[in-house]
A and B are shown apart, each in its own frame.
Chain A
C-alpha cells in the first residue's frame, strides 16, 4: 500500500524539488541504493555490521509497571535505545555509509537536531575512514552540548548554523548548500525519511528492520499481533521503521505522535501533520508548517529531535489514506511520560521517545486492558539529562 506510485512519489507527496545541480547526485544515489538492495554481498555486509557493531536484533521489553498508568494494556517496548550510539539513527547511517564507499566518495556531511544522527554519522565515518562534517543549529548545539562533544571526540567537524531559527531546518539548508558545492567528492547522509527522492525511500529501507524484528518478536511473546504500534514523529524515520512491516496488517493501528510543544492551538509546536498543511520543504512535497506566503514557520518543541516544521512524505500519504493516525503530544505530556518510565521501569528514554510513551498512556486508556501496544523506544535519554534536570528542577 505504501509502495511508491511512481518512483519517488507517495501519492501526491514526495518527489524532488532541488537545485538542478543535485539531480545527478540523487540519481547516482538512487541507482546505488537500488543495486545494493538486490545485492546479497551488500546485504550481508550490513547484516554483519548490525550483528557485531550495532547490537541487532534489539530486544523487546514488556513494561507492566508503566502499563498500570495506561489502563492496564500490555505495553511492549522495542529497544532501539540499546543500539550502539543510543538510538535508531545508526541503522540508517551504517547503510548510507556503506553506499558512500560504493560511490567512491571520501567525505560525508550530515545535519543533526538532537545530535543523535550527527553522532551516528560521526561514528560510521570513524568506522569506515571517511571525513565527516556535521551541520547543527546553534540553538541545538546548546541544548545538546553533550552530543557536540561526542561528535568531536569521534573526529567529526561540527559546524554551528546561525541562520534562520538556528535549528534542524536551517542545518538541513546549510548541508544542502555544502552538497551542491561539493557534490563530486561528498555524500549527504540524510537523517530521516524526508528530503528529496531517494532519501525517504532509502532511509525507510534501512529503518524497516525495526518493524521486521519487532513483528516477529511480539508474535513470539504474545502469540498475536499488537493492536497498536506507536512511535514519535520528527521527520518520521523511527516511525516508518517500525510501521512499515505492519502496513499490510489492516487491524493493527499505526499511531504517530508529533511534538505538540505548548499545544497545536498555540503558535509554538512542531506538529506538521496535525497542525500544518501540504506544501514543499527541503526537496519534497509533504505536510509542513507554513504561512500564507508559503514561508516555513519555525517549529517549537522541548525535544530537539522533533523540532522540525516538516515530515516525511510517506507519512503524509499514510495520513491521507487513513492507514496511520497522527496526534500531537505537548511538552508537558511528554515530560510526564518521561519521568514515569524512569521511575516505573528504570529506563531513561530520549525526550523525543517520551512523546510516543505519552501517546501510549492515552491509547492504552482508550483500548482497555486487553490491548497490546508496541512502542518504538527510539533512543535513550543520556543526552537529555541536562534538559530534564532543568525541567524538573534537579540541580547538576
Chain B
C-alpha cells in the first residue's frame, strides 16, 4: 500500500475529497519549486503531482506549456524531478510524478519506477501512455510497488473503460473535458457522468482534473469524486505575481480556499 492509497482511505473515512496540487519541477525555478511544495504542504494540499517538463506537451494548454518551456530553458531534467519529489515526500505529503512517456523510456523504464519508489514517491501519472502500449510499464510499477495512474476521458466507454481502470492504482485520473489543461470558468456535466460510469466498474478512487481553479468547482467535484486536481491555477498565480514571495502567498490563499471546497461538497 502506497502513502497515496492510505490518503484515500483517510479522506474516505472523513467523507471528503482529497486536494491534489500540480507543479512542474523547476518552476518557477528549481529552488522556487521547493518553496511551492512547502507552501502546498503548509496550506492544506493532500497530495502533490510533480510535473516532468517536456518539450512536446500535447495534453497541455498555454499555461503549462509556457511553464515547461521556462523550466526546460533553465536545464530541468530527471535529477531535478526526483529531487522535487523527494522534497515533497520528506514533508510527509503523498506524491507522484506526472510525465509524458518519452522521458521514462529514455531514463529506463525499470530504473524510473525504481527511482520513484527510492525517493518516496507513490506512483506516476502517464498522460500519453495508452493502455495498449503500457504492458512493460505496468510490470515495472508492480515490481516496484508504486501506483500506475492512467487518464480516462469522457470518450472512454465500455470495455475500454474497464480495461484502463483495471490497471489504475492509487487513483483513476478522470479528465473532466475533451481538451487540454488550463484554468476554465465552468465545469462540464461530462465530469459527473464520467465519474458515475467509472464507479460502476472500479472501486479505485477517482480524481477529477483539467480546468479546475476555484473553490466552487472544487466543491462541486467533491460532491461526486474522491479527489480534485488543480494545476494551471497555481502556475497562473505564480506567473502573475510581482515576485516569488507574493506568488507563494497567492498560492497559499488558493490552496486554503480549495481545501475548504473539497470539504464542502457532501
Footprint of B on A, CB under 8 Å?
15-21, 23-25, 163-164, 169, 173, 176-177, 180-181, 183-184, 279-283, 290, 292-296
Say whether A296 contacts B106, CB under 8 Å.
no
A17 touches which one: B106, B129, B155, B157 (CB < 8 A)? B129
**Interfacial residues of chain B within 146-164, with CB under 8 A of chain A in the complex:** 150-157, 160, 164
Give the residue name and chain of the A residue nearest to B160 (CB). Answer: A23
| Other A-B pairs beyond A173-B57, A294-B103, 8, CB < 8 Å | A19-B175, A21-B179, A23-B160, A177-B58, A283-B128, A290-B106, A294-B54, A295-B103
Cα of A184 to Cα of B69 in the assembled complex, Å = 30
Cα of A18 to Cα of B57 in the assembled complex, Å = 10
Q: Could you name 6 residue pairs across A and B whose Cβ atoms are closer than 8 Å?
A: A18-B58, A21-B154, A293-B107, A294-B103, A294-B104, A294-B106
| Distance from B222 Cβ to chain A, minimum over Cβ atoms (Å) | 23
B58 touches which one: A176, A290, A293, A295 (CB < 8 A)? A176
Say whether B128 contacts A19, CB under 8 Å.
yes
Cα of A23 to Cα of B134 in the assembled complex, Å = 14
Say whether A180 contacts B105, CB under 8 Å.
no
B133 sits at the interface (CB 8 A): yes
Say whether A173 contacts B56, CB under 8 Å.
yes
Say whether B130 contacts A296, CB under 8 Å.
no
Say whether B69 contacts A293, CB under 8 Å.
no
Say whether B150 contacts A20, CB under 8 Å.
yes
Give the residue name and chain of the B residue nearest to A280 (CB). Answer: B102
| Distance from B208 Cβ to chain A, minimum over Cβ atoms (Å) | 14
Binary A-proximity of B75-107 (CB < 8 A = 1, otherwise 0): 001100000000000000000000001111111
| Distance from B180 Cβ to chain A, minimum over Cβ atoms (Å) | 5
Say whether B180 contacts A295, CB under 8 Å.
no
Give the residue name and chain of the B residue nearest to A24 (CB). Answer: B155
Taking CB atoms, residues of chain A closer than 8 Å to B56 are 164, 169, 173, 281-282, 296
Give the residue name and chain of the A residue nearest to B65 (CB). Answer: A163
Taking CB atoms, residues of chain B closer than 8 Å to A24 are 155-157
B244 sits at the interface (CB 8 A): no
Taking CB atoms, residues of chain B closer than 8 Å to A294 are 54, 102-107
| Distance from A135 Cβ to chain B, minimum over Cβ atoms (Å) | 12
Taking CB atoms, residues of chain A closer than 8 Å to B189 are none
| Distance from A359 Cβ to chain B, minimum over Cβ atoms (Å) | 29
B127 sits at the interface (CB 8 A): yes
B260 sits at the interface (CB 8 A): no
Taking CB atoms, residues of chain A closer than 8 Å to B127 are 19
Taking CB atoms, residues of chain A closer than 8 Å to B243 are none
- Interface pairs A-B: 4 shortest CB-CB: A294-B106, A21-B153, A294-B103, A294-B102
| Distance from B132 Cβ to chain A, minimum over Cβ atoms (Å) | 6
Say whether B128 contacts A293, CB under 8 Å.
no
Say whether B59 contacts A180, CB under 8 Å.
yes
Taking CB atoms, residues of chain A closer than 8 Å to B107 are 293-294
Taking CB atoms, residues of chain A closer than 8 Å to B155 are 20-21, 23-25, 183
Q: How many B residues, CB 8 Å from partner?
A: 39
| Distance from A34 Cβ to chain B, minimum over Cβ atoms (Å) | 17
| Distance from A45 Cβ to chain B, minimum over Cβ atoms (Å) | 29
B44 sits at the interface (CB 8 A): no
Say whether B178 contacts A181, CB under 8 Å.
yes
Taking CB atoms, residues of chain B closer than 8 Å to A17 are 101, 128-130, 133
Say whether A295 contacts B72, CB under 8 Å.
yes
Give the residue name and chain of the B residue nearest to A296 (CB). Answer: B55
Cα of A296 to Cα of B103 in the assembled complex, Å = 10
Give the residue name and chain of the B residue nearest to A8 (CB). Answer: B132
Taking CB atoms, residues of chain B closer than 8 Å to A25 are 155
Give the residue name and chain of the A residue nearest to B66 (CB). Answer: A163
Cα of A296 to Cα of B57 in the assembled complex, Å = 11
B102 touches which one: A173, A184, A290 (CB < 8 A)? A290
Cα of A16 to Cα of B160 in the assembled complex, Å = 15
Say whether B133 contacts A177, CB under 8 Å.
no
| Distance from B207 Cβ to chain A, minimum over Cβ atoms (Å) | 15
**Interfacial residues of chain B within 31-90, with CB under 8 A of chain A in the complex:** 54-59, 61, 65, 69, 72, 77-78
Give the residue name and chain of the A residue nearest to B80 (CB). Answer: A293
| Distance from A284 Cβ to chain B, minimum over Cβ atoms (Å) | 10
Cα of A20 to Cα of B180 in the assembled complex, Å = 11
Give the residue name and chain of the B residue nearest to A19 (CB). Answer: B59
Taking CB atoms, residues of chain A closer than 8 Å to B150 are 20
| Distance from A296 Cβ to chain B, minimum over Cβ atoms (Å) | 4
Taking CB atoms, residues of chain A closer than 8 Å to B57 are 173
| Distance from B165 Cβ to chain A, minimum over Cβ atoms (Å) | 11
Say whether A279 contacts B102, CB under 8 Å.
yes
